[in-house]
Homo-oligomer: A and B are copies of this chain.
């Protein structure tokens, strides 16, 4: 096991009705005028918006608004938020929504304290963003999946070619996140299940690394994966199943809290996210859906090209899917089969073609995915490998 630092800067207030702590918690972090940021109109339709304004009024908090943050949030939204925060003299940021709103607000939190373009704050060669101070940020999650509510990362889209840039720094971790599973009752089935695929992928990206016997981390990770596999189908059966929504929401947070399942392991790679980003940039696909499609193809590609890693996939099959099979190759193959069956059960598209991807675009996507360097950790994924994986998933 490698050395690591475990730090969880975000407090989670989990459960129904936790919104009542909002005013006091914001004031505890010195907030008096809040930049309230959200995406489309869903927070107004489902009533959360008015509940928040009530809490602000009770606590005597002023606020201004930034609305219309879109999926795959763009740097222009971030810049707009920075301007509003400064012009209106805000001192706290509250992000209400899913990962896109949260990510935009992390960039705003860093940007408002930086005297220069926010694009300077993207991850550099140190592996972190050059951030030395950030405005206090809290979140109210309305959709489970990205884990942004408990982590230090944000993905921001830049330019006409939809380039994905990353903000990564502990200072942008939310101070607190309000996680009320009831707020996810109205998330449409497709997006709920895409969130499930995203959670599973976060867990797998931390799991499929060279084995350094970080056993506590891996066994905990397997436990969360099993819980996700058990609970997600219950949401399909009843979108208002509180415990199922609660488990999926908590799995989302646990998956990325302090990157706890990656601690002590070799490195931060997330190759599936690297490939997936390019797909959903080009087609405006839902993030989690791309991951559900790419993961089985990536596993099979790795099994085929780097059979020395078969034991890791066999362990996954045995410990997560309870496969009883002595032979590593057969066990691994059965595991990836079970994983694909799970994606089918939660109604993910069968392949990239069904999800709207055009075969003629694959070469360009593969090229773009690796333009900043090869992806991967078990194997190195260059342009040819990226293409092969996407063809497998096609």
Contact = CB atoms under 8 A, between A and B. Distances in A.
Interface of A: 1-8, 11-18, 212-224, 226-227, 230-231, 242-243, 246-247, 250-251, 253-254, 258, 263-264
Given A3-B15, A14-B3, A14-B4, A223 B219 contact: yes
Nearest to A234: B213
Residue with the greatest number of chain B CB neighbours at <10 A, chosen from A15, A17, A231, A253: A15
Nearest to A5: B13
A243 B3 contact: no
A7 B176 CA distance: 9
Number of copies: 2
A267 to B, nearest CB: 15
A247 B215 contact: yes
Given A224-B216, A227-B216, A231-B215, A246 B11 contact: no
Interchain residue pairs A-B with the least CB separation, the first 7: A3-B15, A219-B223, A223-B223, A8-B8, A6-B12, A213-B243, A215-B227
A338 B250 CA distance: 31
Contacts of A8: 7-8, 258
Residue with the greatest number of chain B CB neighbours at <10 A, chosen from A1, A13, A222: A1
23 contacts: A1-B246, A3-B14, A3-B15, A3-B18, A5-B14, A6-B253, A7-B8, A8-B8, A15-B264, A212-B243, A215-B227, A215-B247, A216-B223, A216-B224, A216-B254, A218-B223, A218-B227, A219-B222, A219-B223, A219-B224, A219-B226, A219-B227, A223-B223
Given A1-B242, A6-B253, 12 more contacts: A3-B14, A3-B18, A5-B12, A7-B11, A215-B247, A216-B251, A219-B224, A219-B227, A220-B220, A220-B254, A222-B223, A246-B264
Contacts of A1: 15, 242-243, 246-247, 250
Contacts of A217: 250
A238 to B, nearest CB: 14
